[in-house]
Structure 1
């Protein structure tokens, strides 16, 4: 992996295509620009950002980071570049982008602490790893940007193997040249600016069948799996992944043998109905990415339950349970990114799931 590859990725990064310039952007034109640069459906890019936000917590921060580092269509400076450039060197349009850059920078500083606290910092790191891998494989698939998309591209007609994107419906900012409307060799005086994206008739561009190399998809999935495995391993002995995928039902008898729980996707039932009274206060943190978390409460232990769901619903008691029980206090912190969380007492016939001793709990959790 050469240094040249990364510098080329950065130099040919996508421009933003906002709605006021003719794009079909929903927010800032980030997904629209990525789709045009790498010839993929912008809707797919939007879905990726949403999934990264809901599953790992860093998708929105990543979107703002892309926004501040991607220049608008027809510009060479990104909002971040306008911030670090002396104001007297900027034109009217770039000064407006400078104001946008300061707002984005403020949003990044405000959102990052909340994202890292609301979600595990390792999960936010996974967001950046997955995005970087996706960007790298997209660049390997199409290293050269489509003709007429980026400012400062070659003046000659596009080569036969270079993708061409239709930018005739897009408008450049006031006072800036449209990248797809430079005068070609057959029109040196620029009398037909709307046809500037056409190649020189002397060297007609041959239509090449579009190569679809889907090898990067399984490769990206494989690397993503490795990243998730590394995330699981780095969680340490105190945090156990109890339900990365699928369903899990665990009965706990001794709170001392139960580490903090950290799940990603699935349905998990944590049965505390057989829990023995506590000698000392204890706190248990239960986290899940997408799915459902059910906690069956103990009857002989006072419990404070704190439930939180980013997208979904909760059904948890808000007051201390079993306040008169002869036991130290148990505090349960249950958080779910997408789905539902409930905490309740076992009814007759419930709680017959896998009943694990403390030793078998460790083996099952790592199975």
Structure 2
């Protein structure tokens, strides 16, 4: 029993030492973590920084990242963490630390926010990737841990400290000093004439008053608001699979609501100005999303220009579709008899259809946001619509055209040729 007791105590001591060693190694890694250099980088300098810190070939690190990326995106997830957590070589802190006001980083705040948002899809891969993804992440973390454990003392980066110039005490706007100037080495300048009377005790000079340095405190409103916005996006990503409400547009509205509250609080606390650069473009995207059905961007069609000129009814397609661009459909070359039905549609762009002067045309023109000019009738603004029938210059009879022209954002025009 005594031997068993001693063995148990030794196991406890060994376990505590091991835990302490792991903790100290992790703390030392964070204190002397690699810095992303400017030279030699391919993307953000994560691989180059790790290789330079531990004196290994950067090609090996890049190959390791590519290999881990094949494990259902584990390498991408680790690289994004390195981009956010490793400071650049001239920066005080990493981008994610600068986001919460811990210091200065040259990485713009909008880019840091986008990188944080990119982590959520990678985290989704982490949860859905199964054993391969989890194993890839654990292998990457373990490799970095062992690398620092064995080569942590190699090429340790010097800490970057911020220094501010000492403020000097001035009197009447002039700098006060007791050192004679170079042009008066004998001290004949007027300030050297202030000598005590013979026999008069010289009082010791009072100590200089301490100079107070007031450091402007950064408002935490921006960091807190961005953190809450990221939580909203994370909630939408995690719960959006089973909830139909968490559409991209609704999520964007919730994020803008959080940022609006942050701007309101910042108006009273003199902070939150960094949110303006995000609120404006996100608001424009939100307005565009409420006007245009952005789901059409995932549908059929391409980006570019279409200029079809069919000369027979068989050559007329049932639809002409673009995601973005210009469509100019010329139907003036069709014969004077028969019937044609087609649809012209785009998400963003310009749509123009030219019909023969004598054709009987039934047309419906629509634009979610833009201008509609349809056979002499016009409508502008949001939800612009024109529906009309026109038998042409020769009256009823002859070629009949059934036409539907719809645009998301842009102009729609149907005219006679």
Answer yes or no: same fold by TM over 0.5: no
Q: Which has the higher contact order (CA 8 A, sep 6+)?
A: 1
Scaled by the length of structure 2, the TM-score of the pair is: 0.32
Q: Would you tell me which structure has more helix in proportion to its own residues?
A: 2
Structure having the higher Rg: 2
